[in-house]
Structure 1
Amino acid sequence: MLAAAMPLARLVGVRGRFLTVVGLAVVLAFTVLARPEPSMVRASVMALLALLLAAVGRRARGIPLLCAGGTLLLLFDPWLARSYGFALSLSATAGLFLLAPGWQRALAERGVPHRVAESLACTAAAEAFCLPVLVSLTAEITPLSIPANLLAEVFVGPATVLGATALLAAAVWPPLGRAVAWLAQWPTDGIVAVARSGARLPGAAVPWAAGLAGSVTLLAAYAAIFLNLAAVGARKNARKNTHKN
């Protein structure tokens, strides 16, 4: 929403701190319109903190911003610690900050186009961080979620912007709101179609242990993969140093 609103604000001549005020208003208004669910509140608080830092000339950094936003929300409402939506939102965002940049560089170095590398790295990183939480809830792993998310990604921006615009337009003139909502249904239907089609494919869901046992088992598998990759990398570096000598 900010990506859509801020260029429009600049186009009509809004500058400086007034631009920050516009950004704050957009975030708050969208949070109210979309309803303050845990994941929405997390995103909104982080956006507000980033805008405030920009207003005072400070650069927002991902992980400190995520930690600050999450801590503030938990202090305000400790029961969020029991919300799967809040945990998944924090986990996905942490994956984007911690894993996605390195994975994107690795893909780009192997000749993958920038946009494809970015989408694939972000989707896989978010999924990797969310899985330990998801398996405790669903008792299954969904291998097809990464390609499904990649396909659905193209619909998310239009669905979000058009949906919010429809709500605002309906408050001004209901027929206009219905017209924009008719447009918004198409990208929304696209997301639903990807989800339903992916769920019907063979291997869409693999049974896994539920609860804490499932999460711990998956984290142990992560640790084994990490140690194996680290050992392979160390052997490659050792061979390179041997050849150089």
Structure 2
Amino acid sequence: MSRDWILREQGSRDWRMLPIAIVMWAASLGAHALFAWRMSDGLGTGQAKADAGAGIDVTIIGMEWPVTRILPITVASCAAVAAMIVVSFRLRIRWTGTLTVCVAVACIGSMTAIASDTIAWHDPASAQARQSSSYHEVMATVTTPVIASDQRTYDCQTDIRLSGITVDGTDVRSTVAVRVYADESYCGQLRRGAVHLLTGVLQQARYGRIPLWLLLEGKQPVAQVRAPPWHLAAIAHVQEAFFTVTEQLSDQGRVLVPGLTMGVLGQDYIGGETGPMPVNSTYAQTLENQFRQSGIMHLMAVSGGHFVLVAGLVRRLCMWMLLDRRLTALLVSGVYVLLALAMFPSDSVTRAFIMGLIGALTYAMGRRTQALSALCWTVIGVLAVNPDMSASYGFALSSAAVLGIVLFAERLAGAFERAMPHGIAEMMAMTVAAQLFTLPIQVLMEPELPLLSVPANLLVSPFVGLATMAGLMALACAWCEPWLAGVFAWISSWGTLVMERVALWLGGSTMAVIPWKDGVTGAVLIVAVEIGIGMLLVFVSRCLQHVRRYEAGMPGVRFGSAWRVRLSLWCEETRRLFTRRQAE
């Protein structure tokens, strides 16, 4: 069998892990959907309530299905992998290794997802929430900063990870994630990283990825069992100092500078015992809606752009100092860690942080960084450790945007350069490439299409880098030099002022968005439209390339230049003609 395709492998464009990452993501997502369907109300919650009323322990409800089904499925999958390996090598199929690995990661992704869902399902807190919504005392660690609530009946929200719950007077271990909604009196007491003893109504979530809610209302006490770790306390102090500095800005600066810098809008932040001065809620909500309709809301989410800017600055500084590349990679990794801790926790930050560490490792080894390979390994590792991330819109949007940029940005830039300057072509290519894979996901979230997102991103792109770096400098200086941080925040606010003007101008237009079919059908339609447009553009391009003028009696094809070349030659000859006459 010929192995010439192995010799033609190009290390700088390694696509081998892409199908593997896609298969693992699809398998994990499908396993979550299968488990949710099997444990739906007809076979899960309703049956749990009935058995609880009959005196049956609700923590063992549904155990029969995972045990009796997962084991046979696992054995059958392993047998299928072994059979595929044997058959493939017997038939000498070219892509034997890739197909085998795809089947293997599909088994891993599905089994880890089902195992994670099974553990969460049988958690005592989940069992109690399915049985009834009632008051419970829980021991939990706060995992995110406190922000404004997305429900009008509560003032703030945060996420916690349970370590124990009291059931019928007995302390039981619990590890499930819970979202807390609290009244104003509790907001200043909850600190990221601290361990609290909370009493509230535990119930199943009505929406969102986190399965349970804990509602803190009334006069139930909140006891702090353990203070936050020193590094999280220091980060909280820096963030509070940064928001104190941004209070000196105009309303648009107070809203947008924290969003561009940290990933949380100014009106959503709640910190300290008293909290910052409130922002005009009507203006803030209008601005947020206009950003979303104009298609530039992604600027208010921290992603790879922050890490690329900071890493580039550190790397240039280290090169100027002639430092060893291993030391440079170590410094870049340290900056990545500090940046990830200082940002508001999100799934896009997780993706960017892990990809950044992989890039730093390859730089230390003296190898070229491969963004596509790093993205695929990031997806595989994250889904293997935390299978719930396969259902995260934030992680999916971030990964899809990077995938589109890596695969198509360079090609689109080359095509756009035929009709526009190089700088504009690159910015437009980045915008279009990022939206190729994110549009179907956006339709799943909200059934509408932002028609003006490309011009909006082109208008704000020149100001994003400067405003982001100025915001990060303000964040770094706020705790020690507030006046200097105020200067950087003021510079950043001038960049966000341009974004505000563009959002209000384009987002307020009647042509900003159009309604679209919702759900999976709408996402499939978007994919079909993108494929159709791409095929049409390729067809037209090939037709234009094959347009030739044949000369009678002459061999070959006549060479013809583009109109831009003829125009530039005419201008050059005209300028030379007048210059020669003046010299004479």
TM-score by length of 2: 0.39
User: Which residue of the partner structure matches residue 174 of structure 1?
Assistant: 482
Structure 1 residue 235: Cα displacement? 4.7
Shift of 1:226: 3.0
Residues 103-149 of structure 1: CA deviation (Å, up to 9, x unaligned): 111122x1522211111111111122211111111111111001101
Superposed CA deviations along residues 211-235 of structure 1, whole A, max 9, x for unmatched, are 1111011112122223334444555
CA–CA distance in structure 2, aligned partners of residues 43 and 153 of structure 1: 20
1:169-190 deviations in whole A, cap 9, x for unaligned? Answer: 1122333333322332222232
Residue aligning to 2:342: 33
For 2:285, the equivalent position in structure 1 comes to: none
Alignment of 1:1-80 (within 5 A): 1-12=310-321, 14-80=323-389
In the aligned structure 2, how far is the partner of 1:92 from the partner of 1:242? 45
1:100/1:122 contact within 8 Å kept: yes
Task: Flag the 1:226–1:22 CA change in 2: closer, same or farther, 3 A.
Answer: same
Superposed CA RMSD in Å reads 2.3
Name the structure where helix makes up a greater proportion of residues: 1
The residue type paired with residue 6 of structure 1 is: R
Shift of 1:157: 1.1
The structure-2 alpha-carbon separation of the partners of 1:155 and 1:233, relative to structure 1 and needing over 3 Å to count, comes to: closer
Residue 491 (structure 2) aligned to one of 180, 183, 190: 183
The answer on whether the counterparts of 1:101 and 1:121 sit within 8 Å (CA) in structure 2 is: yes
Distance 1:190 1:9, change over 3 A: farther
Distance 1:64 1:160 in 2: 27
Matched letter for residue 362 of structure 2? L
CA distance, structure 2, for counterparts of residue 241 and residue 225 of structure 1: 28
Give matches, 1:35-184, under 5 Å. Answer: 35-108=344-417, 110-184=418-492
Q: In 1, distance between residues paired with 2:339 and 2:318?
A: 16
Structure 1 residues 188 and 236, CA gap change in structure 2 (3 angstroms)? closer
CA distance in 2, matches of 1:242, 1:235: 16
Q: 1:83 to 1:54 in 2, by over 3 A?
A: same
Paired letter, 1:140? E
Counterpart of 1:195 (choices 497, 503, 521) is 503
User: Matched residues in 2 for 1:230 and 1:113: separation?
Assistant: 22
Q: Distance in 1 between matches of 2:487 and 2:520?
A: 47
- Counterparts of 1:73 and 1:148 in 2: how far apart (Å)? 33
Larger Rg: 2
Alignment-mate amino acid for residue 332 of structure 2: G
Flag the structure with higher strand content: 2
CA distance in 2, matches of 1:45, 1:212: 29
Aligned residue-pair number:
244
Q: Which consecutive unaligned segments of at least 5 residues does structure 2 have?
A: 1-309, 558-584
SS of the residue 2:465 aligns to: helix
Q: 2: distance between equivalents of 1:180 and 1:230?
A: 46
Residue ranges of structure 1 left out of the alignment (5+ in a row): none
